[in-house]
Amino acid sequence: MERLGKNRGIADLESPADSRKSLYSSFVWTDYKAQLQKRVRAEDLPKYFHLTESEKIGIQETIRLNVGTTPYYLSLSDPEDPNCPIRKMIVPRKEESFFSPEETLDPLHEEDLSPVKGLTHMYPDRVLLFSNHECSVYCRHCMRGRKVSDSSERMETADLELCFDYIRNHPEISDVVISGGDPLNLSDSKIDWILENLEKIPHVKICRLGTRNPVTLPMRITSDLCKIIESRNTDRLSIFCNTQFNHEKECTPEAKEAILKLLKAGVSIGNQSVILKGINDDGETMLRLHRKLLELRIRAYYMYDPELIPGSRGFRTPLAKGIQIIEYMRGKVAGMGIPQFVNDLPGGGGKVSLGPNWYLGFHKPSRNHVFRSAVRGTYHLSPEPVDSDYEEFYPEVSEETWSKLLQNSYSAFKGLGPLGESGK
């Protein structure tokens, strides 16, 4: 029988469950700095998961960003189930090992729209400030994998000062999105310094923090951090937060506590989910997520179609999936729980909203618009104002379609009963 070598010990014989217990008990769980120091790297993953062959290939041959997760986020994953949604966002798979022909490092052309290092100016009135190249968890679907976890992308103080100079010299900029990496992985003092600089620029009225830490490291949302944010959230600068919950398993008590702290600091919070194959690409999963988010007091903002980034084939879904999801959710949760389905257009075209075809068009002879009900699937008529001169603006409903729908459509004079029965 082979003896244990000098570098092998009891830990090598532990099951993933036992290894996790050892990790979780090795530090103060609520200390966010310790969570970051104890991050699980690629070489550690075999200790905490029974890996599949696909995962082993992904870990060894990924062409994407580095691998890393906090113990907290690791604890939300299943060591045995390769279909666990959290696990799929932590552990690379073989699809990450090849660069597909349709993929590119920078599909949104952010670098071409960057007047100075770390700043993207795509829309006239707003800019994106790349504040930090580090994250608490390196999500496998990250759309900025070309920058995140790459130390050469580190933003030094001098780089950030050049960004502030650019913003000062462009009075049309009123809105600054601070992203990365995760800006809340910076020190409290650096965050305060960035917010202070923005607050002092007269034409900057809005600051949006783009952070996934409420999901991946909720203990980072400390009282001290919230005091800093609250002190800068003034009549001169309105601070918002957009985070990214992708699955209901992420909606934990710890996450809710972090969100409540931000809300008490006067920060409005929205969620930007990403449709991910095999994780949340169906209506019921997205519906459960967004119901949970409302319980956490988070409003839905965007639901993104995945980007054409290297090694991302395993996550991308047909465009129709997003439309189907929105159609499924409508009528089953309050409107503030339904995100806009958006495609951030390749080539730097910006975001466009997509949705089900509730509007069939305009019937000119009767001057009625024809709609399909999201709740009932029935057809409904709404007249154009008599003094309107916009008739040529609308797509037309053909006479054939009109004649088919007319007898079974509803108007203000023919309603539906509470159970869907027609009434007069």
Q: Is 207 annotated as a binding residue?
A: no
Residues in the chain: 424
Residue type, 363: H
**Predicted pLDDT at 418:** 53
| Among 362, 402, 407, 360, CA closest to 385 | 362
**Predicted pLDDT at 10:** 42
**Predicted pLDDT at 46:** 97
> Are the C-beta atoms of residues 92 and 68 closer than 8 Å to each other?
no
**Predicted pLDDT at 4:** 34
Tell me if the bond preceding 348 is cis, omega within 30° of 0. Answer: no
| Count helices and strands in the chain by DSSP H and E runs | 14, 15
Strand-pair category, 368-372 with 359-363: antiparallel
| Greatest Cα-to-Cα distance within the chain, rounded to the nearest angstrom | 93
| 165: its two tokens | 């100079």
**Predicted pLDDT at 415:** 73
Reading the chain (424 residues) residue by residue, the pLDDT tens digits are 333 333 444 445 789 999 999 999 999 999 999 999 999 999 999 999 999 999 999 999 999 889 999 999 999 999 999 999 999 999 999 999 989 999 999 999 999 999 999 999 999 999 999 999 999 999 999 988 888 988 888 999 999 999 999 999 999 999 999 998 999 999 999 999 999 999 999 999 999 999 999 999 999 999 999 999 999 999 999 999 999 999 999 999 999 999 999 999 999 999 999 999 999 999 999 999 999 999 999 999 999 998 999 999 999 999 999 999 999 999 999 999 999 999 999 998 999 999 999 999 999 999 999 999 999 999 999 999 999 999 999 999 999 999 999 888 999 988 765 544 444 3
- Mark out the alpha helices in 169-301 (DSSP H runs): 188-199, 213-216, 223-232, 253-264, 283-295
**Predicted pLDDT at 384:** 96
Q: Is 139 annotated as a binding residue?
A: yes
| 185: its two tokens | 């992985």
**Predicted pLDDT at 417:** 56
Q: Is 135 annotated as a binding residue?
A: yes
Residue type, 243: T
Angle formed by the axes of helices 188-199 and 157-168, nearest 10°: 20
* Cα–Cα distance, 54 to 173 (Å, whole number): 46
Tokens 């910076």 belong to which residue?
A: 186
